[in-house]
Every structure is written in C-alpha cells, then in structure tokens.
A and B are shown apart, each in its own frame.
Chain A
C-alpha cells in the first residue's frame, strides 16, 4: 500500500497542469485582493474564511478528485493496478489516504497564504483571526473528504469518470444538499427537517467548526464525519469488488 501511495505522489508531482492550476488559483486569490483593495482590513481573513473558502470545495477538491480518481479511469490505469495484483480494498484506502493527505497540505497552506497576502497589502490579521480561518479551512477540508468519499462510490461502482466528477461538483456546490433542504420544506417533512440538517454534510462540518471556535461538543460531529467516511468507504470497496474492470 505504501508503494502505491509513493507512486501516486510521484504522479501528482509530475502532473504539470495540477501544479500550474494551483499556482493560478493562488495568483487569482491575490487578484481578488487587488480588486478589493479599498475594503481590505484585518477582518478580511475571517471574512474570506467564511465567504471564499467554500469555493475551494469545487475548485480545489474538484481538481484533486479528477486527478486522483477519474484520471485513473480515463487512462485505464486502474486496470494496470489491479492486474499488478494490488488488492481492490487497498486501492480504495490508498486513494482516500492520498486525498486526505493532499487536501490537508493544501487546506493548511490556504489560511497562511491569505494571511501572508493580507500582510503584504498592509493588513496583518491577528493570530485569533488566523485560528478562525484555519477552522473554516478544516470545515471545508472535511466536507471535501466526505464528498470525495461519496463520489468515489460512483468511480468504483460505475467506472464512469465524467458522471463521478459531475456528482462531486454538484455535491461540492451544495446543489444536492440544497435540493434535500428544499424537499424538507414540504409540509410532510416539516417535523424532521430541523433534525435532519444536523446530519447532512454541511450540518456536521458546521458543528465541528462551532466546536472548535465556540467550544461546542466535538465528539458527535466528529463521529458523524467518521461515519460518513466509513460508510461510503465500505460502499466503495463493495462496489469495486462487485464491478468488473471495464476495458
């Protein structure tokens, strides 16, 4: 499994478009600062954490998902891996570990970059603001991981890369949860609507955020997060084992 993860890191670091894309995102962020030059202040960091970081789910997560998951399907690399004797369970687990590690690195860099750019424009944020920005980054990272876990079931079960990627993007844009919440507004669901929200991805990650920033309980939302990953991870493994490799 460690060999496979090593190989995947090699692949990621040699995918020029991935590196160029992330550099472009970082530069693009500086561009947004230039546009907002007159309104920048020390509070911009927490504002961006709340308003800008959610866009990282489709922008960063989408590209990562495409690179780590759907690239393998498009290039039939998954066939090579299984033919090499790699167990399907280990492939699923390795890919998730890879996604988690890469996401952690990127989301750890994002608040630092925001902080650095703001400081460069003469508005250094406080350490407390940086802490809140990190909490927002963590919230979005956890959501990214859950959405990746959900969409990966389609990668392994259907082996249709475009369908899986579109599903991830819809999840990341909150399209599907918005649909669910809309449904909950129907009279028949009124009673359970308030209860369900806490169990949806946004509810779970928001509760983790609140736990970190306002001292709320972390145990239950963290357990829910692990539950999401475990359930969809298991579904991915089952789907992959059941589905034959498509040529």
Chain B
C-alpha cells in the first residue's frame, strides 16, 4: 500500500452556520494525481484554503506527511496555485526568482528549468500583460518551485480555451513525470481531469461523496446491454447456457450484460429461442458526467 502524504480527518469549515466543508476525510497517496471534482461552490477551494493554512478549519484535523501540529513547516515543502497570484510589474523570470528567495531555494537554474516546462522560457513581458493561459502556466511553475513533495492546483484549466486546455494537460503531465511529486488538482470538468488524474474525489455541498481510482471509475462507467424481459430467471439461464454470458439483474428487474455488445441480434435470438418475451434491448453507456450527476443526485456518501 502506498504511503499517504496528505490526509484530512473530518475536516469541517463553516461560515456562520453554513458548512463550506462538512466532515471531509480525504486521503492523498504518494505519487498520485488526485482529481478533486465538484461543481462551482462545492467546497474545492475552501478545502485547499484549509490545507494551505489560508483559512482556519472549524473542526477536524489535517495531516501532511504525518505532521499534524507544525503544519507551516511542512507547507514549505508544498507548492500551490489558487488563482495565479504574481507581482504584476515583474516578468516570469523575476517573479520566480522572487519566490525562490522567499522560499529560500538556492537551486541554480531552477527558474529556467520550470519556465521551460511551462513554455514561458522566452517570455519577457510583465505578468500584467499575460493572457489567462500564460498566467495559469506561470502559476504551475510557481507551484513546482523547489521540487515540492505535494503540488496543489486549484482549477488550473478554468477559463482556458480548448487549445489552452490541451496545453495545460501536457504541462501537468510533464510536470508530474519530471518532478515525481504528488498532485491534487481541482476542477468541475470531470472529463478533463479523467485524462490526467489517477485517483478521484467527488465533492458536493462541502461533503466528500466518494473517492475512487481511475480504474474503478472506468469500470463503473463502461458500456453494457440493457435487456427487459418477462422472465428474468429464464433469460439468465438461457444467456448463460447458450452464450456463456454473465448477466446481472438490477433492482428494476432489468438484465445488464457487459459482454456481446456487438451482437444484440444474437442475444435477442437466444432469448426468443428460450421462449422469453423480449420487451426491450438497447446499448447503454454511463458517461463520466452521468456518473458524477448520479453521485450528486443522491449517490452514496463516502465514509
């Protein structure tokens, strides 16, 4: 089992009586790219604010690298980007040099290395003249300064155009591969995080609904055949005996078949041959968005 680098225990943050975070217990394993998915206002940024010490939790515990007391000390080994914030009159090189000095980083060539990764090595203009995509990329470079063990990126693709999103995805992948750090990235676009994340956490109204691996998520969203018949028992027996299939009976009395997706006619013939009346047969696919919406609308609560 991989080591946990960041864990929250029942983390709660209330503004007045309104909970922005409600007993969030999240575990981030070493080397992961953890995608924190949630709609706008779900509590993603508040979670990051608490983790980075920018907001004080109402209750609960934060554990970073096994440390629970002197969190400021371990935060010095973290990088983060919550709204790319840089000095407007300095260029990318000067901004990173400034942060290097503030963080006490004395790695020669560090700023050049990071600016190359994010594709800003040749940019000289001040931050105030940057496009949104450039700001986001510099934000990532800032978060990677000094090779931190954990990198927190809040909505790195927010507001980017399609080309910018593709570029950002490449930057994150390259940065993860080169740094070997553990990433936690938030977004409200699941399909986009799906392309980079290895683990997912779903958050809604401040509650962590579910944590799931990339593999598990795709198992939960794979294609299948949905069959409606008059006699499910008879149908299951026929499909098993004739096609070697392993259909699952749902609570609604439907059969779900994850094999023979390209042979619906054969499935229909088998059922007809066994004397089963077929009411309906169609291919179904749960998209990542469907899965997310399903979770949000009364899905299970992660414990």
A residues sitting closer than 8 Å to B (CB atoms) are: 3-4, 6-8, 10-11, 14-17, 71, 74-77, 79-87, 244-245, 247
- How far, in Å, is A75 (CB) from chain B's closest CB? 5
In-complex Cβ contact of B52 among A75, A76, A83 (8 A)? A83
Assess the B102–A16 pair: CB atoms within 8 A. no
Given A10-B98, A244-B54, also A79-B85 (CB < 8 A) = yes
- B142's nearest neighbour on chain A, judged by CB, is A80
Assess the A17–B89 pair: CB atoms within 8 A. yes
Which one, B68-76, B115-123, B223-231, is touching chain A? B68-76
A8 to B97, CA, bound (A): 11
- B53's nearest neighbour on chain A, judged by CB, is A82
Most buried by B among A8, A14, A80: A80
Given A3-B104, A10-B97, also A247-B75 (CB < 8 A) = no
Is B55 in contact with chain A by the CB < 8 A criterion?
yes
- How far, in Å, is A14 (CB) from chain B's closest CB? 5
The 4 A-B pairs at the shortest CB distance, nearest first, are namely A85-B75, A76-B85, A7-B101, A7-B102
A87 to B70, CA, bound (A): 11
Q: Contacts of A11 on B, CB cut-off 8 Å?
A: 87, 90, 98
Given A3-B104, A80-B142, also A75-B54 (CB < 8 A) = no
Q: Give the tally of cross-chain contacts (CB within 8 A).
A: 84
Q: Contacts of B288 on A, CB cut-off 8 Å?
A: none
Assess the B55–A79 pair: CB atoms within 8 A. no
Given A16-B89, A71-B87, A83-B75, also A247-B82 (CB < 8 A) = yes
In-complex Cβ contact of A85 among B72, B83, B89, B100 (8 A)? B72
Beyond the given pairs A7-B99, A75-B85, A84-B76, 7 more chain A to chain B contacts, judged by CB atoms under 8 angstroms and listed by A's residue number, are A17-B89, A83-B75, A84-B75, A85-B78, A87-B72, A244-B56, A245-B54
Q: Contacts of B45 on A, CB cut-off 8 Å?
A: 247
A195 to B203, CA, bound (A): 62
In-complex Cβ contact of A245 among B49, B86, B99 (8 A)? B49
Q: Contacts of A7 on B, CB cut-off 8 Å?
A: 98-102
Is B103 in contact with chain A by the CB < 8 A criterion?
yes
In-complex Cβ contact of A77 among B55, B85, B97, B101 (8 A)? B85
Given A83-B80, A245-B55, also A3-B101 (CB < 8 A) = yes
Q: Contacts of B97 on A, CB cut-off 8 Å?
A: 10
Q: Contacts of B99 on A, CB cut-off 8 Å?
A: 7, 80, 84
In-complex Cβ contact of A75 among B86, B102, B103 (8 A)? B86
A16 to B97, CA, bound (A): 16
A43 to B82, CA, bound (A): 57
A82 to B82, CA, bound (A): 12
- A94's nearest neighbour on chain B, judged by CB, is B102
- A2's nearest neighbour on chain B, judged by CB, is B104
Is B258 in contact with chain A by the CB < 8 A criterion?
no
Given A7-B101, A79-B54, A245-B54, also A85-B74 (CB < 8 A) = yes
Given A6-B101, A85-B75, A244-B54, also A14-B83 (CB < 8 A) = no
- Would you mind naming 16 contact pairs between A and B with Cβ atoms under 8 Å apart? A7-B99, A15-B89, A16-B89, A75-B88, A80-B86, A80-B142, A81-B102, A82-B53, A83-B52, A84-B102, A84-B103, A85-B53, A244-B49, A244-B54, A247-B49, A247-B82
